[in-house]
Chain A
Amino acid sequence: MSEDRIGQPIEVEGRAYPSAAGATVHTGEQSYYLGGGVSWDMEMVGKRVRVSGVLRRRRAQVQTRPPDEEQEHGLTDDTYVIEEPEWTLLQ
């Protein structure tokens, strides 16, 4: 994804999944987290949704260390977050 889309409005359609770091929508090519503390329960698994908001990049939270070093819990990659999300369930 090009850097110039960061900070811009975005609208995506995809399937909803509950992820450990928050609600996500998978478009098939890209996964986006929903900001604002949105969480989806198990009934939303795989449902098609449309999400709009402002795109932000979230930096990785922790590093994957060698197995003999102390591990920390969190996201190990940069991820995309849709802030101020508005979402609708698609039929």
Chain B
Amino acid sequence: MGPERHDADVEPSAVAADAAVRSGAGLLSSSPLTALNGRGELDPRAGPRSVAGLQRMAGNRATARAVQRSAAAPGGLRWLSRIGYRLDKPLPSSAPTPVEDHSPNQRKWNKTDFYAFWEAEQGRKLSTSEKKTVDRGCIGITANNLEGGGNPSLVEVYDSFSAAHSAMYKHNNTVWNTYFSSSLYVMFGMLFWSNQDPDVSKRATPDPTAFRGDPKTHRVDMSGYQYRAQPGKVNFDYGFWDESTSSFWHANHKDFGPDDPMIVYQSTRDKFAHPFTMPDGTERYGYDDFDRAVYGVAVANNYDVGKAKTP
């Protein structure tokens, strides 16, 4: 199964423009698309007529995206930020104090500090609804960035970080996503228990064949996943991959108030899904709660990747 485009979610005029670009340089050379450079940024020399033509052809949303890319380009006016701080650098004196600092592998933060990091990067306040989503714990952090609520899409999931990262890169560099889409793909990690038997007495041991990647595509079929935990263990651990700090953002659990608050974890790839083997030879990742580590790729409709500073 190859990477999918999500044309159903986009403006028809923009799809037509995408097709026009794909159809050849003849059309391109005489179209308003010449206002775009090779990186999908608006050419600084483009006049109002070119911009208006691009708006007619691709729609307001796509044109705004091109203008945004242009502003974000080197020399542009946008100030880029990131969620918090890199793990491999000392914290500046202005940084809040982490709950625990195990850098360069992990830092643990108060939830309110994470709110502040997110808002500083994204340039806007989290709404009450978005905070409620984040407060659901690890899954909430990822769900908020993807759609602002719900559960993260498990339609496109891979069995390795590198396969998912490659897929994300390809998605974000299609003609459509380079020139027109206002949302980019992101990736997230997910640790969980393979045995999803509804009978808890039959769920204690791993299912050795469940949720394995296709040997060629590395895609994992998650259709049978029911969010069930290994008995007596935590149900899952989602981590939002933050390219700008090269870390996963996850959590201890949902927020239970001052007596048992949600603590946000910032972890390296290895810390998040560290593999180890149990005495019986079965695999685990991160904690003994989880025997699968997979990586999802999805569109971030509630998080502007373009505002994240590249490493």
**Using a CB–CB distance below 8 Å, which chain A residues touch chain B?**
15, 17-21, 24, 31, 42, 45-46, 61-62, 64-65, 67, 70-77, 79
Contact = CB atoms under 8 A, between A and B. Distances in A.
Q: How large is the interface on B (under 10, 10 to 19, 20 to 34, 35 or more residues)?
A: 35 or more
A76 B237 CA distance: 13
Interface string B178-222: 000000000000000000000010000000000000000000000
Interface string B129-142: 00000001111100
A75 B233 contact: yes
16 contacts: A19-B234, A19-B288, A21-B289, A62-B254, A64-B235, A67-B151, A70-B143, A71-B136, A71-B227, A72-B139, A73-B138, A73-B140, A73-B237, A74-B137, A74-B254, A75-B229
Contacts of B231: 77
Given A18-B288, A31-B232, A67-B227, A61 B151 contact: no
A33 to B, nearest CB: 9
Given A67-B227, A72-B136, A73-B139, 18 more contacts: A15-B279, A17-B287, A19-B288, A20-B289, A21-B253, A61-B253, A61-B254, A64-B226, A67-B226, A70-B151, A71-B139, A72-B139, A73-B253, A74-B234, A74-B254, A76-B228, A76-B229, A77-B200
Contacts of B287: 17-20
A70 B288 contact: no
Contacts of B290: 20
Contacts, number: 98
Contacts of B225: 67
Nearest to B225: A67
Interface in B286-302: 286-290
A81 B231 CA distance: 15
B136 to A, nearest CB: 5
Nearest to A39: B100
A14 to B, nearest CB: 11
B56 interface: no
B150 interface: yes
B228 A20 contact: no
B239 to A, nearest CB: 11
B236 interface: yes
A23 to B, nearest CB: 10
Nearest to A77: B232
Contact of B229 (A24, A42, A77): A77
B79 interface: no
Interface string B75-118: 00000000000000000000000000000000000000000000
Nearest to A17: B288
Contacts of B168: none
